[in-house]
Amino acid sequence: MLDLYSGFDLFGRFLDASALRARIIAHNVANQNTPGYRRKDVRFEEFLARAAERGGGGRLFSVRPQVYEPPGGTVKPDGNNVVLEDEIALNAKNEILFQVVSQALRWRFSLYREALQER
């Protein structure tokens, strides 16, 4: 069963995953010219969706972001597969996700604040 604080925990996990993804993207950009470097990415949303399909509940709160090396991509002659334009696009997408989740969290806090003030 989900309690009052569970939703906040889930929002927090989203924000943590987004912050991790921002660090990984920055790391990829910093290594775009490092021979042999392979780009990294973060899995979180797909794990969360899978947990929700399996019934959600407590399973959602066991999901943790995972850094991994995605297969494929365009590999340059030096063995590096970071494409700066792709990283910039991923960073923009990640920033939007962070803003949406932050706004949802602020909205949820405001609901609780209003409820407490009416007591």
CB atoms within 10 A of CB 90: 19
Which pLDDT belongs to residue 7? 67
How is residue 17 written in tokens? 């995953």
Query: How do residues 2-26 score in pLDDT, each as one tens digit?
Result: 455 566 778 888 899 999 999 999 9
How is residue 5 written in tokens? 């604080």
User: Domain limits of the chain?
Assistant: 6-117
Which pLDDT belongs to residue 117? 81
Which pLDDT belongs to residue 34? 97
Alpha-carbon distance of 65 to 67, in angstroms, equals: 7
| pLDDT > 50? residue 118 | yes
pTM confidence score: 0.82
How is residue 25 written in tokens? 């993207």
Query: How do residues 39-96 score in pLDDT, each as one tens digit?
Result: 999 999 888 888 878 876 777 777 889 999 999 888 999 999 999 999 999 999 999 9
| pLDDT > 80? residue 114 | no
